[in-house]
Structure formats: structure tokens, C-alpha cells
Chains A and B, each alone.
Chain A
Amino acid sequence: MTRLLDIRGLHVSLPEGAQRPYAVENADFHLDQNEILCVVGESGSGKSLTARAVMGLLPRPHVRVANGQIVFHSEDLATASEPRMREIRGSEISMIFQEPMTALNPVMTIGVQIDEVFRFHEKMSSKERRERALSLLSDVRLPDPEQALKAYPHELSGGQRQRAMIAMALALDPKILIADEPTTALDVTTQAQVLKLIKEMQEAHGTGVLFITHDFGVVADIADRVAVMQNGLVVESGTTDEVLRQPTHPYTQSLIAAVPSLAPRPPRTRSSEVVLEVKHLEKTYRSGGGYFGGKERVVHAARDVTFDLARGETLGIVGESGSGKSTVARCIVRLNDAEAGEILLDGVDLRPLGRAAMRPHRPKIQMVFQDPFASLNPRARVGRIIAQGPILAGANAVTAKKRALELLETVGLDAGAYDRFPHEFSGGQRQRIGVARALALDPEVLVADEPVSALDVSIQAQILQLLDEIRDQMNLSMVFITHDLRVAAQVCDRIAVMRRGEVVEIGPTGMLFEAPRHEYTRELLSAVPGRDWFAAPVEKLAAVSS
């Protein structure tokens, strides 16, 4: 086995005034031919900058390699000249990125952008280059290579764009492919396809792949070896089997323990009291068209959506982007207006209510949002954010403050948070504030729209646990929107699977996971990365809470 890359004692320095002096500190690892090495870590671990250091693409002069070697074919890339690096980049080492939409030039066709790789590294006639590009595009299985060559990035779907990026990266059959979270922006079924493609291409060409990810599921699916990073340090490395089955470093252990299991939670008895009933909900979005007879696009975000929610129950709504799951959530809390159907909360149909008529019902149904950075007013103090709901509902300022302080304690924050601004808190803490705000009105139903998808996996587990606790404590009923079947398995009593605005299947979590009836559910389940790897749920929760 040939060693492709040997990283020894790598230090990447951050500008003065940053949180720590080195983004990457004393990193040691290597990459061999024909293997996939996953570098795993949470945000801020330094994994992306390690990848960029190898490419010589650090945002200089502020961030640079301060010390150490990056040996590629007995050449130290850390000290290589810029012209030499330019020769290497794209031909010997190439890279794909997380967000293919912004990583491609919006005003140049895919064809021109692939062509550049050839033009800058090889002497070929334009006809030859075109043929190579076409064969590359068919290698990555883009449906119509001729068309794709002429297409602009915005004319392709997310998965297709990433395929085009892969084609571009593999154009000159590089020895090393660096993949920086290449599937994070993709839906789970697309992710599975792209991962499969990367694996196939790697095997066919014997490429060494340096794969950066935060997702242990992805690691389990594609890695041969793993390096785990925390705060700039490589804390553990080894074969995938070793690291996943017998992690030695406590950080690795806690990360792996925090990955939610796909094995569903033990079933609970369902209350016979129905709190919320949604019947035949319809919502369509229209765009384009108008006065000039252009083509009008109609998107059915909700088509005949029907489900009910028992007291104390958590119902998951699972689907990929564009499935309409968030629209349904927003229709239920009346942020969006559904065109038809019924939303019965305690027997009252909320759907036709006007703003004023809706106001008395608002406290009963509250929402927790996805993005902890966007969901809190940056100009308002935490106390005001939590207390203004009760005050609007008629509580006096003193009671509202008392309640807000209680809630801060409930969600695990200290009373000092009351007078501070949102930007003083971490993502997880902000999400706790968001939960406290939703609870301030003593709701019966809590609608949580992807409440953990913007958080690191260790924080995810904490928030999920918090939601579980408050549900039991306050006898809440919850509608839980997520794209992540692992998360759904852990928190939901029942799950509704949505695709293109329709609920294709609904049932108790255990039954849905063991015997999915709809083909799409099966597809979703089989696309979950690392599905066969992670152990039973009971041990997991114990590990997290310890």
C-alpha cells in the first residue's frame, strides 16, 4: 500500500484575538492509496482548516501553517511555492465542497468550469477536452451529459450539482480527493446516492479520499479509517471498526453515544384523549405566471393531510426538503393560511379564524424553531423575549417575570440569563431560551420545527432530552418536524412520513421502522447513513445523561 499523504505535527495558526492560538494543533495522520480516511469533529474542531491546509487554500495571511509538514510524494506541501501548488491542485489533489450551489460560478456553464481543469493542466484539443468532459459527466451518472455541459449551476438540482463537482474534481484522475462535508447540504436519499458514487469512484480509480464530516453515520458507511478532532487536536484515530466499536478517548465515546439510535424508543400507552385533529389540510404555493401568461408553477405543499395527536403524545412528521412538513407545521400554528381542511384544537377549528379570533387560541399552541440564531430577536433581552407572551396575554409584569425566571430554571439556564442578550449564548443555550419562550404561555401543544438540526450532535442529545422531560412534566403534546429518522426514532411515539405534500404513511414508530408499508418509507430508512452500526437506545440515553 502506498502512502499518499503524511501529515506530521501540523499547526495552523489563527489571527490574534481568536478564541485559541491554533485552529489545528500538532495534527498527525496519514492517508494511503485506495482508502477513505474520515476526519470527524463538531463545528470549530479544525477539521475543515486541516483539509484546506493540505490544498494550500487557507485564508491567508490571517490563517496559515505555522509549523509541521504535509508530505505528499516526498514533497512538503506546507512549504511548496504557489505555482507548484497550482500545478498540484486539480491534477494531483482535488477537492469538493459542502455547498455546490455557491462553490460553482453562477454565470459560467458546467462545461466551461470542467473544461478549465483540463486547460490548466494538460495540452489537449478542445474536441478532446469536450469528449473527456462528456464521459466524466456520464461517469458520475448525470442523466443527460450533453445538456449538463451547457447548463448553468442554477439549472441543476442539488444532487446533480454535487455530481458535477465530483466530475470536475476527478477530471484528471487525482491521487487524492478531499471532500469537505460534501453531503451535508443534501437530502438523505440524495446523500446516500452521492456517498455511493464517491465510494465507487474511489474504488475504480484507487484514489485516496480525505473525507471531512460531522456525521458518524456517514463515517460508518464509507470510512476505512477515522481521525477524530476536538478543538484543533486529533484525539483519536484508527480503523473504522476500532473507533466506532471501541472508542478509547472520552470525547469520541461521548460523540458516538450522542448519535441517536435507529432502534425506536419503547412504546408508551397512548391516551385516548385527542388534543389536535388535522383533517384534509390543503396548501398550495403559486409562483410565476401572472399577467403575461408565463408558465405558472404550482407546488402542493400539503395535499389532503390528515392526522391526530393524543394528549401527551409526540407525533413526528418526517420528510425531505420540499416535502411540505414545515408548511404543515406552520399551518397548524397559523403562521401560514391553509386553503382547505380543518385544524381542530380541543374541538375548535382554527383554520378559518381571523387574526383577532385566533388570538385567544394562540397560547394553547406554541412553536419551537429551527435556527437558534434567527429565532431570538438580537436586540431584545432574554427576559423580554420570554415574558412578552404572557404580558400580551394579560399577565402583569411581576408575574410574567417570575414565570420567566422559573422557566429559565426549567430549561437549565441560570437566572442571570434574564438580563442578557441572545448573542451572549451558545447555540444550544439559545435553543433552550426558545423552548422557554414557547412554554411561557402554558401551551397544550408544542410544534417543534427541526429544533435540533442546526446543532452539533452532542448538543442535540441534550435538547432532545430536555424536550422529553418537559413533555412529561407538563403533559404536553408535541408535533415534531424532522428530516432525521434517527432523531425521530428517539422522540416520537408515532411518525407520519411526508413526500411532495402528501402523508404517504403514518403509524407507531416501532411498526413503521420494522415493517414500513410504503416504498418511500423503505427508501428513506435504507438511506439513513450508518444504519446498521449503532447500538440499542436504552444504553445510549444512559450514556448521555451520565
Chain B
Amino acid sequence: MSHSARRLRYVLKRLIQALPIVLAIVIMNFFLLQMAEGDAVDVLAGEAGSATPEYMAELRAKFGLDQPLPVQLAVYLKNVLTFDLGYSFRHEMPVSQLILDRMIPTMLLMVSTIMLAVGFGVLLGLIAATGLNTWRDTAISIFALITYATPLFWVGLMLIVVFSLNLGWFPTSGMENLTMFYEGWDRVIDIAHHLVLPTITLSLFYLALYTRLMRASMLEQYGQDYVTTARAKGVTERRIIFVHVLRNALLPVVTMAGVQVGALIGGSVIVESVFAWPGLGMLAFEALFARDLNLLLGIFLLSALLVVAVNLVVDIIYSSLDPRIEVG
């Protein structure tokens, strides 16, 4: 079998393995919905002010809420399959529509955060590990230690106090200046300008995480036998660090980057609500305030699926970095 065919089969295999997890998440979502006090009809009735019990029973029948649980579950599964996540009565829009609208800003924030956190984390970890016990190492380690302990929302607020309110360098909130009606590159620059503070806020914690991980990983790999072999061959320290050790040391960082995507989505709820960034996290925050559980569950489901997808991608990247993973 050719290599590319084997890789394709590996991807398929991982995809199939992810299915039970996706199914389990959907089912759990359904039961969470059941656990929540009151159903859609209660919400509707509440919206309308008053409703007779007869009318509510009629509505329940209409929505299928009087059916036995397994039937409701089957209907729910079918709905999810067709990407029908229910209706948000607050926003008077289908949940799926709402979520799709807010996807782009969140993806923008997440991608820039991952790039910043992983990129700088690897770099700082590398610098700290190669200068073990020098001032560089100490400074980086202390920085990592402190940022690792700082709550996201507080960092966000402090950055606003310093860089927006006092220095006026960056806007306090939003994704773009809607009153200016920018187009083309101007709009891109405007969005990038708004993106700076939220990205830094969300990155800091993960930056600290990857720095510490990379440092530890480098040090561990540096003590391995193959490093001695490379030295015995007369290979320079530079090449030992950047070719031999680095590739091996990156492996746990890649794994961790995948694992942390879920946490990153959680963090974006906080960061988006601090900076009023109009993404999924902000939507979740609004849903929370409006007690719009249907919407909250939709966001939750989607973010879980996103994590599954990202993990899949990370697995595939990992398998190309580590020849020991069997692709066959």
C-alpha cells in the first residue's frame, strides 16, 4: 500500500474513532436539556406573559414534548444531524443561524491566540532551556509562573485600564469601528487593531503553559542517549539543539496544543465578554444572562465538535512528526 493511501486510511480510522465521542456528547447534551428546569414551552409561555394550561399542552404536543424520552432523543438526534439546534426565542432566530454568524470572530481570535501562544511559548521555552540557570532562564520562568497564575478576566481588565483608558493605544471593546464603515484593507487593519488586546489576554495563560512545557521537554530530551551519540559523532551543539533535540521536544507541545483547544474555547467566553468581542463566547455570555439554555447548549455542542475536529487535525500533524506512530 502506498504511503498516501495509508495516511488516508489513518485519517479515516481516526474519524471513525471520533464518532462515538461525538454521539456521546450529543446524547449528553440532550439530557442536560432535560435536566434544565422548564422546557421551551415554559419559556414561550413566560415570554407571552400568560398562557392557559390547555394552550401549553397543545404547544407541547406540537413540539413533540409530550412524547416518551427515547422518541424525543431520536428526534433530537435527527435534528442535530440536519444541523437544527432549535430556536432561540430571545433572539428570535434559529440557534444554528446565530452560531454560524458568530463563528468567524471566534475563529479569528482563536487562531491568532494559538499562533501567538504556541509560537512564543516554544521560543521562550527554547531560550530558557538553552540558557539553563542564567538570568534569561530565571526571567522567563518567573514570567511564566506569574502569568500561569493570573485570571484571564483580570488581565483583560488591567490591559484595558493601562492600554486603552490611560494610554489610548487600543480600543476598549468590539471587533471593529462600525461607525467608520471601513472597507478593504482599512477594515482589516481596524479589525487587527481591535484584535490585539483580546489576543494577548487569551494568549498569556497558554503562552506560560507552552513555555513551561517546552522548557521541561527540551531539558528532558537533552538528557537522552541519542544526544550523547550525536556528540560522539562530532555534531555541533547548535545542530544538536535545533535538529536533534528540538524535533523530539516539540512532540509533547503539539499534543498539548490539541488538548488545550477546549480550554481555549472556555477562555474565549471570558475574554469575549470582557472585550465585547462579538463571537461565540460573547453569545454564550448573553445567553447566560438571558437564561437562554437552548442557545447555550447549542454553543456547547458546537464547541465540543470543534474540539473533536481540532484534535483530529492535531493527531494527523503528530503522526507526520513522529515516525513511531503507526499510520498503517
Contact = CB atoms under 8 A, between A and B. Distances in A.
Direct A–B contact present (CB less than 8 angstroms): yes
Interface of A: 55, 57, 86-91, 94-95, 97, 99, 102-108, 116-117, 120-121, 152, 154, 165, 168-169, 291-292, 294-295
A108 B244 contact: yes
Interface string B1-37: 0000000000001001000000000000000000000
A247 to B, nearest CB: 32
A80 to B, nearest CB: 13
A294 B328 contact: yes
Q: Which 10 A-B pairs have the closest CB atoms?
A: A90-B234, A90-B233, A102-B225, A89-B234, A95-B232, A152-B323, A105-B226, A103-B225, A103-B229, A86-B234
A223 B294 CA distance: 80
B248 interface: yes
Contacts of B239: 116, 120
Contacts of B229: 95, 97, 103-105, 165
14 contacts: A55-B231, A57-B232, A86-B236, A89-B233, A94-B233, A97-B228, A103-B225, A105-B226, A105-B230, A106-B248, A107-B247, A120-B239, A152-B323, A292-B16
A87 B229 CA distance: 15
A292 B328 CA distance: 11
Contacts of B101: none
Given A91-B234, A120-B234, A97 B328 contact: no
Contacts of A168: 233
Nearest to A92: B234
B134 interface: no
B271 to A, nearest CB: 36
B188 interface: no
A88 to B, nearest CB: 7
Main secondary structure on B side of the interface with A: helix
A89 B231 contact: yes
Given A86-B236, A87-B234, A116-B235, A99 B225 contact: yes
Given A55-B231, A97-B228, 19 more contacts: A57-B231, A57-B232, A87-B234, A88-B234, A89-B233, A94-B232, A94-B233, A102-B224, A103-B226, A104-B226, A105-B248, A106-B323, A107-B251, A116-B235, A120-B236, A121-B234, A154-B324, A292-B16, A295-B328
B322 interface: yes
A89 B226 contact: no
Interface string B163-207: 000000000000000000000000000000000000000000000
A136 B188 CA distance: 57
B321 A103 contact: no
Contacts, number: 81
Contacts of A94: 232-233
Nearest to B245: A105
B226 A102 contact: yes
Given A97-B225, A97-B228, A116 B233 contact: yes
A91 B220 CA distance: 28
A88 B244 CA distance: 20
Given A89-B233, A121-B234, A107 B328 contact: no
Contacts of B224: 102
Contacts of A169: 232
Contacts of A86: 234-236
B234 A55 contact: no
Contacts of A103: 225-226, 228-229
A105 B228 CA distance: 10
Contacts of A108: 243-244, 247
Nearest to B321: A107
Contacts of B248: 105-107
Nearest to B247: A107
Nearest to B225: A102
Contacts of A291: 16
Nearest to B221: A105
Contacts of A102: 224-226
Max chain B C-beta neighbours (<10 A), residue from A94, A105, A108? A105
A428 B321 CA distance: 43
A400 to B, nearest CB: 44
A74 to B, nearest CB: 20
Contacts of A91: 234
Contacts of B235: 86, 90, 116, 120
A103 B16 CA distance: 37
Contact of B322 (A57, A89, A107, A120): A107
Contacts of A107: 247-248, 251, 321-324
Interface in B96-123: none
A87 B230 CA distance: 13
Interface in B279-309: none
Contact of A106 (B13, B226, B236, B328): B226
Given A97-B225, A108-B244, A152 B324 contact: yes
Contacts of B236: 86, 120
A169 B232 CA distance: 9
Nearest to A151: B323
A340 to B, nearest CB: 30
B108 to A, nearest CB: 33
A106 B229 CA distance: 12
Contacts of B228: 57, 97, 103
Interface in B208-259: 224-226, 228-236, 239, 243-244, 247-248, 251
Interface in B37-66: none
A91 B226 CA distance: 18
A319 to B, nearest CB: 28
A111 to B, nearest CB: 13
B250 to A, nearest CB: 9
B131 to A, nearest CB: 15
A121 B239 CA distance: 14
